[in-house]
Structures are given as structure tokens and as C-alpha cells.
Amino acid sequence: MLRLRRYRVFVICAFVVLFLLYHVSRNSQWDSVQPNVYDKVERPHYTKPKTQDDVDADTPRPGGPPQRPPSGHHEQAADPVPPKKEQEIKIPQLKSTSEVKGGYGLPKVAPTTTSAATKAQNTDKAPVADTFPTIKLPDRVDESKDQDAPIRVWKPPKKVEDLNTAAAAIHWKKPKEWFPVPKESIIPLPTGSPKPMPSVQHKFKEESKPQKEKRETRLAKVRAEAMRAWSGYKQFAWTHDELTPVTKHGKDPFCGWAATLVDSLDTLWIMGLKDEFDEAVKAVKEIDFTTTPYRSDIPIFETIIRYLGGLVGAYDVTGGHDGKYRVLLDKALELAEILMSVFDTPNRMPVLYYNWQPEFNENPKRASTSVSVAEIGSMGMEFTRLAQLTGEDKYYDAIARITDALEELQNRKDGTALPGIFPQQLDASGCNRTAAAEATLQKQTKDVSADSEEPEGYASTRYGSTQSSRTKSTGAKDLEFEVKPGSRPSEPGSGRFHDVYKRELDSAVEERGDDATGATSGMQERDSLSERSPISAKGLPANWECVPQGLTSGSWGMDSYSMGGSQDSAYEYFPKQYALLGGLEPKYRTMHEKTVAAVKKYLLFRPMAKGDPDILFSAKASSSDNTDKNLHYEWEITHLTCFLGGMFGLGGKLFNSPEDVEIGKRLADGCVWAYEVMPTGIMPEFSMALPCQKVDDCQWNQTAWYEHLDPESAWRKTQLEEYNVKRAKWKEEVQKLKDEEERRLKVESAAKADKAAQKASQGAAEEAHHHHSRRDLSVDGDDEKLIEEKVEKLESELDLNSQGGYQTRNEDVQKPVGEIYYPVEPLKPLTHEEFVEERIKRERLVPGFASLNDRRYILRPEAIESVWYMYRITGDPIWQEKGWRMFESIIKATQTEVGHSAIDDVTTAEEAMPTDSMESFWLAETLKYFYLLFTTPDVISLDEWVFNTEAHPFRRPTAAT
């Protein structure tokens, strides 16, 4: 009953709810009263023949509810009654990816509407059931056809606007030029006969037949891997930016302009894949650079080196003006025309992420206050070569101004902490906001001093504003009464007295904010109200003007200097630009030589490694005071820095510096070493090393390596000493407790023995008394035996001898021995050696490495790039052997069914995990350099060609004899 009473309320409630739901479902008229949200969607026209049941159903029943006419029925009754206007349901339109920044979907498809004429025709026709506006529905699968036909992978259209059926995609439009360069001020492309330069490439001898067979076998394997990657891209990601080689899809991290396709054009040509090249060129024709559904901004650096460089390089290798692929130059010019808009800034420094859509593009632009050196300094070769091919000086002018700004910064006194090298981040805005603020402050101070007195008076206020009743200030401070009206007319105001100084009185009336408790400084605002306007006479924003300045540091507090990421290619372009211009612009040589001198002085280091290899790497130095007095170093080994060997080698040959060529060898060897010491045979993306104290005297010292891995070894040694002391005390306390317990047990044992003796004596006396008593009772033998059995049985049942027996006295109960609680033993800390060995095992550190910060390999080319330069410069076949070992390791770790994938960890002895990424530089650079390493040396000779940072070859001008 109790349980029933407890739950009967819930049972009753549940029954009532079920009953109500049942009746609601029986009586609801949802289907007839709810507006049909799909009424505006036209369905296929279909007229169902009416039966008698349909006629009866359409006829209103006497006394029944009025019947709703069929949706879309145009026939009217003899006495038409104006129908009530149904509530229109608005379905929100989703924004297309071209309207949403960072979107990666497809553009929206505008719905198709039915014209008024069509609607009029429908009203004249016979009654038709359910008529709707027309939309195109997805095609249905014809089940009558063969369902086992192979499924075709969807391939995106060539032009982005084809993604829309009715509404056109947003297209770039050439904007008004806000800061044009006068024709007479355009920096012209250097002209004249190219200057003679030393030969860069080694004079190779004719190879033997075994050497040729070996080389050609390796060359064929490289070509086969390139075909694997290209075929996978063509099948699963055609015209997309990249292939995902594991999941077999395409992705578009850039603008969806087929980055891999454009980036790989010259690679296909160099490898002799002419059919694939021609097919790719046909796809290039259809690329529309004026629109993209994938990004609202164009990444300028990547677009220039991959797309513009890829088109120009492919045009050059196919013969240039003498070739038959003029379309490549035309597409390059189409893209360049768009990119030129990024230079339309007050100081002509480029915008590096270009909002290309017209609503943003039409506004004036200014370069960022924080740009990387690599991004702003790696445009020169592409636009220079385009200027050479077209004769248009405007392309060279755009990048020449950047070079001039970099040169000015390099030569500026105290411009950088390391003379010759630029800080990683630069302020390219051209605005000295600090100077503007100082000038404004000085003006305010001058104006304040000019206002000696403030006349008395009354300042009227509007509703909701603050009014002040004040008197003339004659002392250091006055007492002012503030009144703040209520938020509504019916509410009373509030007021208070407060001290106010002379400077505050100057602007108290006009410039006090809405909050009467905190007077604004107001001086700057009051002075500028009459001077500024939303738009200036030139159409620029009112606050557009600023104190001009050149390039300067874009960091706050700490500047970084290195040859790694965000800086690398800017320095790489100095000697290459010199070669591309035929030596006619000497500033590029000067800038290169200053950079090389700074690298040798500040950044080069030799790592301490087993076997004492004679190798070099370039470190990163940081300065917090814009000087080289207190530099902080990171002894990094990064894949991006591996280009440096090729740069030193090329510059050393061009400018006749054998020392630089030797340094280039050691830099290239350093990256080869970083490959070979890893379990996979591939160097990690980013790691740290232990530098030698002296470059010319460096021997492996495991003790020093251990100390570097455990900088707290001294503290660890102290901890171990403290542990030994604590453990000795612990052992002493434990032994003392054990001795005390042993003495206690002996005392208890002796006491128990005495008690047992007393009990035995008492038991003997009782037994004698018992026998004496039995003799007196004269009991028969059989009875006596029966009595003894009953006594024994009773004692057994009662368990009188047990601890809990009924007749056991408390003093006879045996007390359990108390548990001894010993103090906790101190935890032994790891020794210095144990800590280091555990770290080495956990992080899988290779001797010589201090840390492995980024274990990935993302198919980068910089290491094999320097190996190829060293082979072509020195002619030593050992570089081919080093490159082949690198190639085999890379293919083994990265090969997939349809291409090659970046991997997440180069230190694991097990199979590396792919990250499903194959960037366009895999075909454009990495496989190209491997191919050129094993092809004949006359293919893309360094005396005839120069590469941009994406390995696109540009033809050098012919040197004068």
C-alpha cells in the first residue's frame, strides 16, 4: 500500500497526458490549417482525373466546416469572395561563400521565378491541381539503366561562374587608382648589354656507360613517382588547388585556381610529359582569375610565387616568344593586372592579403603594420621577368620600390640590430603614428598655454547632456557642481560637487562625456572637431594623413633575425635578381654581400654530433634593444633554412667568393646529416641542436649533451643528496619502531606464560575437587559415562573454550596485536643520468638534438634544392648519392595509392602516419629537383636559368662576350 500511494499520483498524471495526446491527435486539423511553406515551389504539372468521390469531397457538407480550396487552384466561384491574405513565410537566404569571409563552400544558386505572363496564361487554362513556380529538381536515377556503371568522381567546372545557374559570381573589377605613379616617375627596367659573369655550373665530363645506366635508372624512378602524383591529382582533384592523397579528394586552400596544375606546368615539360602538359594548358585557359568562391582575400605571396611564377616559368621553358604557348603569358598578364592593385598605397608598399571584391577593393588601401620579410621581399623575380617579356616598366617599378625600401633599411644607421639582416616582422604602412601622436600632444600643449583665462558664462545643454555651473578659476583648483539630468524627462537629475583643475575647466562644458563622473581630456577632440571631416577633399578618410616613414620594425619589444621561415626567400632573391637582370642593377649584389657577411658573423653555428661531422646550420638571434650587445639565440635546425646552402653556393660563384661556396657545401651537408640520422631517413620540420663552442674544434661530448638536455642537473644532485639524508632518518625511525614492538611482544609473551601457569594450577585443583565430588555421588559406570558425553556435547555447542564463550571473562580475552604504522618511505628522485635517458627515450632524441619541436615532414624541397645546387656547382657525384638516399627514404615514408602524403612524425621506427596533404610544391619543386639531379646537366643549366623560390626557371639574359 505504501508503494502504491507513493506512485499513484504519477500513474494518474501519465494516464491523463496519454488521454489528452490521443484526443489531440484525433481532432487536430494541422494538415488543413497550417500554411504550406512549399506553395511557392513549382512542382511538375500533373492532373489527376476526378472521380465521384473527389467531387463529393469537394462539395461542402451541410453544417460542416468550410473547406479549404486546393493550393494553387485558379478557378473562381460565381460570387467570388476576396480570400484572406495568407501570412507570407520568408525563408532566409544563406550567404554564398563569396559573401562570407573564409567560406569554402559553393556559391548560392538563385531561385528561378515565374514571370507574370506565365501566371496569366495559367489562369486561362482549365483547372489544374497544385501549380507551383518552376525550379530545377535534381535528376533522378533511371532504375531501368545499368546500376553497375562506374561512379564518376565530380570534377569542378573550369570557370567559377558555372557553379551558378542564374546568379553570376562576384568578379573583380579594376578599381580607381588612388595613388598613381606619374609616368615620368616610373622606375624603368635596366637596359643594356648584360655584364659578363663567372660560370656557375661545373663543366661536366662525359659519363661512362655504367654511370649513365645507373643515372637513367634512378631518373626513371623519379619520373614514375611524379606520374603517380600527377595522375592522382588529375583523377581526383582536377582543377582544385591540391589533392588529398589518402582520402582522394580535392581541396582549395588558396583561391581554387588549380594551384597544383599551374605550379606543375614546367615540371611536366622538363620531364618530357608533353601530352599531360598540353592537357594542363587547356585547363589553364579556362581559369578565371577575377573570381573565386573560396576566399574573400587573395594571399599575394603564395599567388605570385606559385601562379604568376608558374605561368611565366612555363612560358619560358616552352620557348617564350618563339614557342607556341602564348596563352601562358596572356594568363600571366591577366593575373598580374589584378595583382598590381595591391601596390596602390601611399608608399607603394603592397597589401599582402588583398580583398578583391568590389565593395572592398574600391576603397583606398595601406600596407600592414606587420608583414614578414619573405612576403614583401619575394615578388621581385616574377614581376621583373614579366617586365622583360612584355616591355612594361610598371611591373618592374612595383618591385623596385620595395627593393629601394629594403636597401634604405639595410643602410640606415641603427636600422636593424644585425646590420645586413632585417627583423622578421616589418611595419610597411609608411605611417609614423608615434610621431603623429607627439605632434598632436605638442599642439595641445601649445594651445593650452595660449588659453590663459576662461570667461565666465553659461553653457546651455540639451536633454540627456551634462551642464556645469561654474565660476572663474583663480586658483590651482575650484569647486564645481555637476548636474546630470535623468535618463527620461520625468526622472529627476542628480548632482555633486567635485574639485576640477584649470585644464579640465577648459573643456568641461563642451567635451564632457555622457558619464558625468569622469570628465574626458577633451582637448584633442575639441581642437580637431572644426578641422576634421569624414572625407577629405581628395576623397580619402579624414585621418588618412600621417607622418611618413620608411620600413621599420613591426614587432613590439623583441626582434628576431634568421634565415628561416618568414625571412628566407627575401635574401634568396638578391643574387638571383642580380643574375636575372644581367648584373645591370648592382644594388642586389651589395645587399647580398651585406646579408652574407651578417650571417657569417652572427648566425652560423656548428652542431655537436656523434662522428664530429663538419657541418653548419643557421641560428635565430633575437634582440630587445635593437643592438647586437645582448642577443638571445635559438640553435635551430629547420627545413626551411636548408635553402641557404644553395644561396651561398650560387652567390659564391656569381660574385667570385670561394669561401661562400665552401660554406654552402657545409650548410647543404648539415641538412643531409639531419636526414640520415633520423629513423625514417627524413629530417623534421623544426628542431633544436647543441652548438659547439668553437666551429673549428668540435668533438662529441656526451656529458655536455646530457647537461644541455637537463639544465637542472645541479638541483637534481642536491635533491638526491637530500633524499639520502631523509632515507637514512627514515630507516632509523623504522628500526626504532621495530625494536619497541619487539620489546612489547616479549613482555606480553611473558605475561601470557604466567597467566597460563596460574590457570593450569587452578584447573588441577578443580579437577581434583571434581573427582572427589563424583566419588561421593555413587553414580553407576553407565550413568557416569552418559553424563560425561552430555557435558562434552554441551561444551562443544557452547564453545566454552573460545574467545566469545559465555563463561570467558574479559581479562581472559586475547587482544590482537596492534598494527604498526611506519613512516612513509621518501620517494627517490631521478638522477641526472636517469632523467636524461628517460627524456631521450620518451622524445626519441637523436644524439646532437636538444629537442624535436615539429616532427612532421610536409614534402618540403629545401634540402634537395641545396643538394642539387652543390652537384651542379661542384660536379661531385657524391651529391647524387646523398640525394638518392634522401629520395628513397621520402618515397618509402610518403607514398600512397594515388600520390604522396605528408607525415606526422619522422622519428618513429614504425610506419609513419600520413596527414593526407600533398601541397603543390611537391611536384613543382621537390620532385623537379630530384629529377634535375639525375638528368643530364644541360637540362636547365645554371648558366642559362635562374629559379624563383618555387623552383620555376626564368631564362637569364645572354651575357655579352
At residue 529, does pLDDT exceed 90?
Answer: no
Tell how many helices (H) and how many strands (E) occur in the chain: 30, 20
**Selection from 616, 596, 595 nearest residue 695 by Cα:** 616
Tens of pLDDT, residues 828-873: 999 999 999 999 999 999 999 999 999 999 999 999 999 999 999 9
Q: How confident is the model at residue 525 (pLDDT cuts 50, 70, 90)?
A: very low
Question: How would you classify residue 681: left for phi > 0, otherwise alpha for psi between -120 and 50, otherwise beta?
Answer: left
Mean pLDDT (whole number) for 814-836: 80
Flag the least confident range among 1-15, 238-252, 284-298, 398-412: 1-15
CA atoms within 13 A on the CB side of 763: 6
The 10 Å Cβ neighbour count of residue 388 is 22
At 883, the amino acid letter reads G
Residues 6+ apart with CB under 8 A from 316: 266, 385, 953, 954, 955
Bridge partners (DSSP) of residue 312 are none
Q: What is the pLDDT of residue 879?
A: 98
Going by pLDDT thresholds of 50, 70 and 90, the confidence category of residue 541 is: confident
Kindly tell me if the per-residue pLDDT of 456 is higher than 70.
no
Q: How far apart are alpha carbons 862 and 303 in whole angstroms?
A: 19
CB contact at 8 A, 850 and 690: yes
The number of beta carbons lying within 10 Å of the beta carbon of residue 915 is 18
Query: What is the per-residue pLDDT for 497?
Result: 46
Instruction: Determine the average pLDDT of the residues in 651-665.
Output: 98
- C-alpha span between 385 and 332 (Å, rounded): 11
- Convert the pLDDT of each residue in 218-273 to its tens digit: 999 999 999 999 999 999 999 999 999 999 999 999 999 999 999 999 999 999 99
Between CA 813 and CA 803 the distance in angstroms is 6
The string of pLDDT tens digits covering residues 413-424 is 989 999 999 999
Strand partners, 355: 297
**Residues shown for the chain:** 961
Residue 32, pLDDT above cutoff 60: no
Task: Tell whether the model's pLDDT for residue 776 goes beyond 80.
Answer: no
pLDDT confidence tier of residue 949, bands split at 50, 70 and 90 = very high
Give the residue with greater pLDDT, 530 vs 346.
346
Count the helix, strand and coil residues of the chain and give each as a percent rounded to the nearest 5.
45, 10, 45
The answer to whether 547 and 435 are in contact (CB under 8 A) is: yes
- Please say whether the beta carbons of 302 and 256 come within 8 A: no
Residue 819's pLDDT band (cuts 50, 70, 90) = low
Can you read off the three cell numbers belonging to residue 368?
A: 600592414
Whether residue 815 has pLDDT greater than 80: no
Q: Choose from 384-398, 705-719, 815-829 the range with maximum mean pLDDT.
A: 384-398
Range scoring the smallest mean pLDDT among 25-29, 191-195, 299-303, 751-755: 25-29
Look up residue 707 and give its three cell numbers.
647537461
Q: What is the pLDDT of residue 513?
A: 37
Q: Which of 680, 601, 690 is nearest to 637 (CA)?
A: 690
**pLDDT score at 938:** 96
Burial (CB count <10 Å: 0-12, 13-18, 19+), residue 502? middle
pLDDT value, residue 768: 64
Give residue 878's pLDDT band: very low, low, confident or very high (50, 70, 90): very high
- Name which of 99-113, 737-751, 772-786 the model is least confident about: 99-113
Report the range out of 545-554, 747-756, 895-904 with the highest average pLDDT.
Answer: 895-904
Per-residue pLDDT band for 46 (boundaries 50, 70, 90) equals very low
Per-residue pLDDT at 22: 76
User: For the residues 148-153, what does the mean pLDDT come to?
Assistant: 38
| 625 close to 571: Cβ distance less than 8 angstroms | no
Q: How confident is the model at residue 748 (pLDDT cuts 50, 70, 90)?
A: confident
Q: How far apart are CA 128 and CA 75, in angstroms?
A: 9
- Residue 521's pLDDT is what? 36
Grade residue 557 by pLDDT with cuts at 50, 70 and 90: confident
Find cell 652542431 and name the residue: 607
Q: Is the pLDDT of residue 297 over 80?
A: yes
Question: What pLDDT is attached to residue 189?
Answer: 97
Confidence of residue 286 (pLDDT cuts 50, 70, 90): very high
Do the Cβ atoms of 561 and 623 come closer than 8 Å? yes
More confident residue, 781 or 604: 604
List, as one string, the DSSP characters of 387-454: HHHH--HHHHHHHHHHHHHHHHHHHSTTSSSSTTS--SEEE-S-B-HHHHHHHHHHHHHHHHHH----
Percent of the chain with pLDDT over 70: 68
Residue 41 has pLDDT above 70, yes or no: no
Calculate mean pLDDT across residues 503-513.
36
- Pick 486 or 542 by higher pLDDT: 542
- SS3 letters across 640-656: HHHHHHHHHHHHHHHCC
Name which residue leads in pLDDT, 626 or 499: 626
Q: What are phi and psi of 704, to 5 degrees?
A: -65, -40
Question: What's the mean pLDDT in 136-140?
Answer: 35
d(CA 771, CA 792): 16
pLDDT at position 423 is 96
Please indicate whether residue 47 or residue 198 has the higher confidence score (pLDDT): 198
Check residue 756 and give its pLDDT: 81
Note the pLDDT of residue 120: 37
Residue 605 φ then ψ, to 5°: -145, 155
pLDDT higher than threshold 90 for residue 763:
no
Q: Which of 194, 187, 169 is nearest to 98 (CA)?
A: 169
- Amino acid code (one letter) for 172: W
Of the pLDDT bands very low, low, confident and very high (cuts 50, 70, 90), residue 449 is low
Q: What is the pLDDT of residues 348-397, one digit of tens each?
A: 999 999 999 999 999 999 999 999 999 999 999 999 999 999 999 999 99
Q: For 154-182, what is each residue's pLDDT tens digit?
A: 344 444 444 443 347 899 999 999 999 99
Partners of 495 in the β-ladder: 483
Separation CA 875–CA 711 (nearest Å): 44
Return the minimum-mean-pLDDT range out of 170-179, 516-525, 713-722, 925-934: 516-525
